[in-house]
Copies of this chain bind each other. A is one copy, B any other.
Amino acid sequence: MKDFSDPAACACFNLRKAARAVTQHYDEALKPCGLRTTQFSILAVLARLSPAPVARLSGALVMDRTTLTRNLKPLVGQGLVAILPGADDRRKRNVSLTAKGRKAFERALPHWQAVQKEMIGRITPTRWQRLEKDLGHTVRAAAES
């Protein structure tokens, strides 16, 4: 049982390592847009769900609620995202994409497509298809506690 005796086989370590390695390429590619990968992902989710309360977004991103709150700060600072109190429920904060934010997202899209194509090409489309499924399964497996 190598998997349970050799820390180099650590599932967490290997996932984080791969995430670090890949993130650097995406961040580099999105640099001309003034966006990080995480920020692009948030805008992408918002493009579909805006406006939506914080908890709904953090669920969609599989990101801790408080993490999302912090991550929204620079986006709000840049005027790409606006946060408004909910009309029906004053506890809720509705996060929405501004016009500027939607433009920034659309400008970033081709840059993302380029690096995505490049990276999947390197990984190999076949392997990536498999990997994406396995990652999705992993997220669900981790979340089911």
Binding site for B on A (CB under 8 A): 3-5, 7-26, 37-38, 40-41, 44-45, 47, 61-64, 109, 112-113, 116-117, 119-120, 122-125, 127-128, 130-132, 134-139, 141-145
Contacts and interface: CB of A to CB of B under 8 A. Distances in A.
A145 B44 contact: no
Nearest to A14: B135
Please give the count of copies of this chain that the complex contains.
Answer: 2
Given A3-B116, A7-B109, 19 more contacts: A3-B120, A4-B113, A4-B120, A7-B45, A10-B40, A11-B22, A12-B26, A12-B41, A15-B19, A15-B135, A16-B38, A20-B64, A21-B139, A21-B143, A25-B145, A122-B141, A123-B138, A127-B137, A131-B135
19 contacts: A4-B116, A4-B120, A7-B45, A7-B109, A9-B116, A9-B132, A10-B40, A10-B44, A11-B116, A11-B132, A12-B41, A14-B135, A16-B41, A18-B142, A21-B62, A21-B143, A119-B141, A122-B141, A131-B138
